[in-house]
Amino acid sequence: MALFSRKQKTAVGLDIGSGLVKVAVIDHGGAEPELARVAMVPLLADAIVEGEVMDPAIVSDAIRAALSAAEVNPAAVATAVGGRDVIVKKIIIDRVKASQVQELMRWEAEQHVPFDMDSVELDFQILDPEADDEQMRVLLVAAKRDLVEAKLRVLEEAGLTAAIVDVDSFALHNAFERSHPEAMTGVVALVNIGHESTNINIVEDGVPVLTRDLNVGTRRLREDLQRDLGLSAEEAKAVLDAPDRSTALDTVLVARGEEIAVGIERAAAFLASASHSQVQVSSVYVCGGGARTPGMLDTMGARLRVPIVLATPLANLTAREGAFESLDAEAVAPLFMLAIGLALRGPG
Ligand SMILES: Nc1ncnc2c1ncn2[C@@H]1O[C@H](COP(=O)(O)OP(=O)(O)OP(=O)(O)O)[C@@H](O)[C@H]1O
Ligand SMILES: [Mg+2]
C-alpha cells in the first residue's frame, strides 16, 4: 500500500579520484537526507593522470567494484569534472533578467575563458538573484567538452548514465555548506588534498569566489619519501597512512604542507588585488586523503597562523548503521566530501 511504503529516493554520488574511486549513497526519503552507504576502491597507478583517464577499462572496472561494494546498482549517478580544463570565474555584469544571462554568458566567456569557445560547455549561476542593485554577480563555468565527454564515456563503459555532471568545486561546496554552516560567514578556504591534486576554494560569506588547483597530493608525498629516504612504495605508503606522525615525514611534510599553504596565500592575494580590498582568510577547512596525513594540518597551521579544521561531511549528516561497513568512519569520512556533496543534490 502506497501509504506505508516509504518511497526509495536514493541518490548515488560518484567521485572518480586518481587514487580512489568513491561512492556515496544518500537516502532522500526521510525528513533529512541520510548517508546510507559509502565505498571506496583503489585505482591502479596511472589509470588517471592529471585528471585525464588513461585507461578507461581499469577506471570503469573500479567504478563497478565500488558500486558493488556499496551494494547499489543504479542506472544513473551524479559525478563531476574538475582540474585545469574547468574554469570557474566570478564576474560582475550590469543586472539583466535571469533569462537574458544565458545569452550574455557566451560573450563574457569569450573575454574570460582562455579556451576555444567551440569546444567548451558553458554554465552559470547567478549569485545574488534576489538583490536589486545595478550590478549582478554571476559565477561562470566553462568546461572543455572533451573532458565532459571522456567522463561520460567511462560511465557508459561501466553501464551507467550521468544524472548530473557537476563541477568538483561546486559539489565540494555543497557538502561543505551542509556540514560546516559556521564557515559560511567571512572568508574561509576549503581545501581538498587528494592523491594527485589539491583543490583550493575560497568562500566569501558562503559564496565560492575562487578556485585553484595545485599539482600536489599524497602521491607526491609518497614519491618524496621514496626519493629522499630510499623507502619502497609500500613503506612510504605505510608512513603516510599511519595514525601517528613519524619523524620520517618531517621534511617532506614541511615542503609540501608549505606548498599548499602558499597556494592558499596566493589565492587570497589574487582575490585581494582583483577586488581592491583586504582579503583575510580566517580559517582553513581541509578534506581529502591528504587531510589524514599525520601532521599535515599542523604544518599548514604553522605557516598560515589561522585555525585549520579537519572538514568532515558527517558534521551535520546522519550515517545509517553500517554505512561505512568495515571502514573506520571517522578516519575516512573526510575523503567522501565530494561524493557526498554530489549525492546530497538528490535523486534525478
Ligand atoms: N584510510 C585510508 N584509506 C585509503 N587511503 C587513505 C586513507 N587515509 C588517507 N589515505 C590517503 O588518501 C589518498 C586518496 O585521497 P583522495 O581519495 O582524497 O584522493 P583522490 O580523490 O583519489 O585523488 P585526486 O582528487 O587527486 O584525483 C590515498 O592515496 C592515501 O594516501
Ligand atoms: Mg579527489
Which of 241, 287, 330 to mutate for ligand 1's pocket (most ligand atoms within 8 Å of CB)?
241
Name the segment(s) of the chain with CATH classification 3.30.1490.300: 86-144
Q: How many CB atoms lie within 10 A of CB 106?
A: 11
Ligand 1 environment, Cβ below 6 A: 17-20, 194-197, 217-218, 240-241, 288-289, 292, 331-332, 335
pLDDT band with cut points at 50, 70 and 90 for residue 8: low
Q: Does domain 86-144 have CATH number 3.30.565.10?
A: no
pLDDT band with cut points at 50, 70 and 90 for residue 1: very low
Highest averaged pLDDT of the listed ranges 67-71, 129-133, 166-170, 242-246: 67-71
Mean per-residue pLDDT of the chain: 93
Q: Which residues contact 297 (CB under 8 A, 6 or more apart)?
A: 286, 291, 308, 310
Q: Report which DSSP code applies to 18.
A: S
Q: How many CB atoms lie within 10 A of CB 200?
A: 22
Q: Virtual CA dihedral for 285, 212, 20, 298, nearest 10 degrees?
A: -40
Give helix then strand counts, H and E, for the chain. Answer: 10, 16
Name the segment(s) of the chain with CATH classification 3.30.420.40: 181-310
**Is the pLDDT score of 237 beyond 80?**
yes
Q: What pTM did the predictor assign?
A: 0.94
**Spatial distance between the Cα atoms of 163 and 311, rounded to a whole number of angstroms:** 26
Q: Which CATH number fits domain 181-310: 3.30.1490.20, 3.40.470.10, 3.30.420.40, 3.20.20.140?
A: 3.30.420.40
pLDDT exceeding 90 applies to what percent of the chain? 75
Q: Quick one: which ligand is closest to 338's CA?
A: 2
Whether the CB-CB separation of 316 and 181 falls below 8 Å is answered with yes
Question: Looking at residue 13, what is its pLDDT?
Answer: 98
**Spatial distance between the Cα atoms of 86 and 143, rounded to a whole number of angstroms:** 4
